[in-house]
Structure 1
Amino acid sequence: MQPTHKQGYTAESDPHGTDPHSPGAKLDHGKNRLGLVLNGFPLALMAVGEVGTYGANKYTDNGWKQVPDGINRYTDAMYRHLFAEAAGQLTDSDTELLHAAHAAWNALARLNLMLEGKG
């Protein structure tokens, strides 16, 4: 979430101290560095993408957003995959994808629902 002009607002600045009106200035100091996620976890995100693709092919694109009681159901699904992995099963027998990737997808689904206020 970006800071607002209300409580918690931080004035924008260049991380190198460059004047905002000088060539090469970029007022992104302290802003969310999403590249750290994309570039830091490419293999994990590809695996999560495979889970999402499997689900979209089995059901519908983004249909998970309308599942009733989604936060609780995706929390339970996440736990099922974590428990299966803890019991020694590396991959899901139905999808042949890693249980860890399924758990991560479910964690992202429940987080997104929470952030959308659907909990």
Structure 2
Amino acid sequence: MKTLAAPTQAKPGVAVLEIPSAALQRMSGKFPEGVNVLVVPPSAVQPEFIRPPKIGEVCPITGLARTTFLELLQQAGPKRIPVRYLRKPGATTGIALVPRQPLVDYINSLPAPDWQENEEEE
């Protein structure tokens, strides 16, 4: 059983767990009184932060290749998409974390391509 980060809007005492469906079925009658279980597909649980894709891979959230992803972050700037870095003391490398929602909002704010605007008029 793997514990996932609870959504930011979750109330105190709320935990989000990823449990295989077979195990959930076996346990369904064993939850104590007052415990509510909400079953959602894993695709419905969105991460708060995402990591840039590895070289040769695409981002699972945006579908962008690594170079395009990094160029988009640079184009947006740190005020629009505030990237955070995790680095241990003394380390030369670390982990870049990109907040998912500001990234998606920035992509949605970009203008539609000319060919798409022409299709909408027809």
TM-score, with length taken from structure 2: 0.24
Larger RCO (CA under 8 A, 6+ residues apart): 1
- Give the TM-score of the pair, scaled to structure 1: 0.25
Structure 1 or 2: larger helix share?
1
